[in-house]
Amino acid sequence: MNINEAIESRISVRAYIDKPVTNDTINKILDVARWSPSGTNTQPWKVAVVQGSTKQTITDGLLNAVNNKIPPNPDYQYYPESWVEPFKSRRFQCGMDLYEALDIGREDKEKRLEAGLANYRFFGAPVTLFFFIDKDMGKGSWVDMGMFIQNVMLAAREHGLGTCPQASTSDYPDLVRKALNVPDQFSLICGVALGYPDDSEPVNQYRTQREEASSFTTWFD
Ligand SMILES: Cc1cc2nc3c(=O)[nH]c(=O)nc-3n(C[C@H](O)[C@H](O)[C@H](O)COP(=O)(O)O)c2cc1C
């Protein structure tokens, strides 16, 4: 697969077939992603590959926290307190497109809640990757992490694998750190679900929209 194809075919996959991903394949993906750039080559990434009973422990813990309305306690604030345009409208559209693909109506709060909870089951993916960064590192290293995580997702495409980055799975970082024996010194950035996409599911058949490059680019001579 060439790079353009990998970038353009990566979508957030929210349904997976029941097929394991071999450790060899996961290793190959991480082996490529390690060539990501980072400021002064600090390579700030730390990854946990989570499968089987450990994944189930985390799912149980996350669902328990959400169902008991325990306030989320993420290591960083992903989204703004209040939304402004154009981000507000794009976020709204993103939700509308997803619910339409899932055939969930505007008023169907129960189904919307259930769709949200699917996050904590990693959408049925056999693997979830958790990405951590040392709290001593600065904001710049979080930029490095973004590049690294994207490269993991692109390398996964080479193997016919789908991914979904999931900030929702970092809502309760203490619980995840405990299950994975990760010291408090590391911030949890996000999880990424990994597995073979279920192409028959409508939720994997729609595409999110994008602005034209000309709308965010200014050219200078
Ligand atoms: C860091 C990050 C966190 C995300 N968290 C979630 C999440 O918790 N749940 C989810 O369903 N999608 C999540 N997404 C997926 C976005 O909704 C998705 O990338 C966006 O709508 C664009 O769609 P695409 O990935 O299919 O191109 C996340 C994306 C990123 C980059």
Task: Tell me the CATH number at 158.
Answer: 3.40.109.10
Q: Does residue 106 have a pLDDT over 90?
A: no
Distance 207 CA to ligand 1 centre (A): 12
- Is residue 214 domain-resident? no
- Is residue 154 domain-resident? yes
- Is residue 216 domain-resident? no
User: How many structural domains are present in the chain?
Assistant: 1
Domain containing residue 194: 3-77+121-206
Q: Is 128 in the pocket of ligand 1 (CB under 6 A)?
A: no
d(CA 72, CA 101): 27
| pLDDT for the residue 23 | 98
**How confident is the prediction for the chain on average, in pLDDT?**
97
- Cβ distance 143 to 154 under 8 Å? no
Cβ burial, residue 193 (10 Å; 0-12/13-18/19+): buried
Cβ burial, residue 161 (10 Å; 0-12/13-18/19+): buried
d(CA 162, CA 154): 9
Mean pLDDT value across residues 173-179: 98
Mean pLDDT value across residues 157-162: 98
- Cβ distance 48 to 183 under 8 Å? no
- Is residue 63 domain-resident? yes
Closest ligand 1 atom to residue 97 Cα is 21
Mean pLDDT value across residues 2-23: 98
Tokens 């990434």 identify what position?
Answer: 45
Closest ligand 1 atom to residue 119 Cα is 9
- Is residue 194 domain-resident? yes
Mean pLDDT value across residues 83-91: 98
For 201, the token pair is: 């599911």
Q: Is 143 in the pocket of ligand 1 (CB under 6 A)?
A: no
Mean pLDDT value across residues 31-40: 98
Distance 38 CA to ligand 1 centre (A): 23
In tens, the pLDDT along 41-59 reads: 999 999 999 999 999 999 9
Q: Does residue 149 have a pLDDT over 90?
A: yes
- Is residue 87 domain-resident? no
- Is residue 97 domain-resident? no
| Banded model confidence at residue 68, pLDDT cuts 50, 70, 90 | very high
- Is residue 113 domain-resident? no
Could you give the C-alpha distances from 18 to 39, 86, 103, 178, in angstroms and in order? 39, 39, 23, 27
Distance 192 CA to ligand 1 centre (A): 10
Mutate to test the pocket of ligand 1, among 12, 91, 129 (most ligand atoms within 8 A of CB): 12
194 Cα distance to chain centroid: 9
